[in-house]
Structure 1
Amino acid sequence: MLDKVERPSVGTPLLTMDEARLRDPDNGALATLRGWVESYLMRGHDELGRTGAVCPFTKQAAKLDLVRLAICEAGPDGEEDAFKVIRKGFADLEAIPCKPSMRHFRTVIVGFPNCGSPQGIDMLQRVQRRHKFYSLARFRMIGFMHATNDAPGLWNPKFRPLRAPLPVLAIRHLVEQDAPFAARHPLLLAPYLLRFPIAGPKRLLAYMRGGG
């Protein structure tokens, strides 16, 4: 039986994909979040620029039942509440039960349905920035997706892979396949090479040579 995680102060408890499917009505924020994960992240896209799912990592994590979803009700004025939920998310990530060899697939995805305004987006960007060094020091990644995110795709610069129907902050492990991100973000490069001292340089070289 899966361990139960303490309820966040301003949102739903962390739920498996199956629990989320049973809990939320079809038009609820949790259903929107789950639907986006299943119909977008876990599937291919014509504009992606490569074959496979938009996020192969999430697809595999879901197969292993290592994805946890939650909704945080904080609005644009609730930065400290949002910060606490995300900070706790790092501990929640470690609490997801799994085989030791599968730990790197653990993922926590938190939706913020009340932060779709420019003010809400700005607040969540601050929350993400406040966790930048905290996450890197722990070899973790924290991503921010929202409806107007203009970050270009790695394989097709015209594609916008980080768009979501509601603002989302996601926490996961840094993995060997993150070489393209490490190559593009100097702050991530040192933790990546420290975490993967042998395979990491090979991955980076292959990416820079265009081998993916």
Structure 2
Amino acid sequence: MLDRVARTAEARDALLTFAQARADIAAEPQTNAALGTLLSWVESYLMREHADLGRTGAVCPFTRQAARIDTARLAICIAGPDEEERAFTLIRSCFGALDAIPCKPGMAHFRTVIIGFPACTDERGIAMLQRVQKRHKVYSLARGRMIGLMHETSEAPGLWNHAFRPLRAPLPVLAIRHMVEHDAPFAARHPLLLVPYLAKFRLAGGRRLIDHLRGQG
């Protein structure tokens, strides 16, 4: 128990608000080059509209709102392809750190943690992060959380435009956030997500799923 608390505290201390990230990048741009790349991608891609997205609004409206109310946190992990346990331990501790992000009442579901892995850009690094993500699938869903992997060569198709590749990023990224009612399209696509989604959102979630499936017909 004490070890888990210590890991959570360590992860929480490593996470940066957008303002802190900007300050670190301005102070030491070369040292924080990866952080600069991560922040730029979040602000210029995730939080913006995209012509190929297939719907209006930001690529990730969730992240844009989280940034607006200061519940988004960023970090860089230098673990390489041979350091799976190091990456796994950090990500596991980030679940606790996520819950510790200060927020106003009713805004907890906008908490999000985004970790960049600049030493994992090759195939071995991506494969390692895929294993870390897979090892957290059940753990995250049991807690009503979502964990996603983004990287430069991701072939995951878009929900609204299947030709679009929304999960591409200039460096590998693992992100953790709360499952929300608007995740119905993801629940419809991933059977493992369907049960915890319906357990959490019940009738409202069921209605969203039905509406989504009707819209796909």
TM-score (norm 1): 0.94
SS in 2 for 1:97: coil
Question: Which stretch shifts more, 117-126 or 202-211?
Answer: 202-211
- Give the number of equivalent residue pairs: 205
Higher helix share: 2
- Of 188, 192, 207, which aligns to 1:202? 207
Aligned to 1:16: 17
Deviation for aligned residue 1:26: 4.2
Deviation for aligned residue 1:38: 0.2
* Distance across 2 between alignment mates of 1:186 and 1:26: 43
Aligned to 1:156: 161
Aligned to 2:93: 88
Q: Quick one: which amino acid aligns to residue 17 of structure 1?
A: F
Runs of 4+ in 1 over 6 A off after TM superposition: none
SS in 2 for 1:101: coil
The alignment status of 1:98 with 2:91, answered yes or no, reads: no
* Distance across 2 between alignment mates of 1:60 and 1:198: 25
SS in 2 for 1:191: helix
- Of 180, 188, 191, which aligns to 2:185? 180
Deviation for aligned residue 1:6: 3.5
5+ residue gaps, structure 1, are: none
* Distance across 2 between alignment mates of 1:50 and 1:198: 25
* Distance across 2 between alignment mates of 1:100 and 1:141: 21
Superposed CA offset, 1:134-160 (max 9, x none): 001001000000000000000100000
Q: Quick one: which amino acid aligns to residue 78 of structure 1?
A: E
Deviation for aligned residue 1:83: 0.2
Superposed CA offset, 1:170-197 (max 9, x none): 0000000000000000000000000001
Q: Quick one: which amino acid aligns to residue 186 of structure 1?
A: P
Q: Quick one: which amino acid aligns to residue 85 of structure 2?
A: E
* Distance across 1 between alignment mates of 2:34 and 2:207: 41
Aligned to 1:123: 128
- Of 36, 46, 58, which aligns to 1:41? 46
Q: Quick one: which amino acid aligns to residue 145 of structure 2?
A: R
Aligned to 1:169: 174
SS in 2 for 1:76: coil
TM-score (norm 2): 0.91
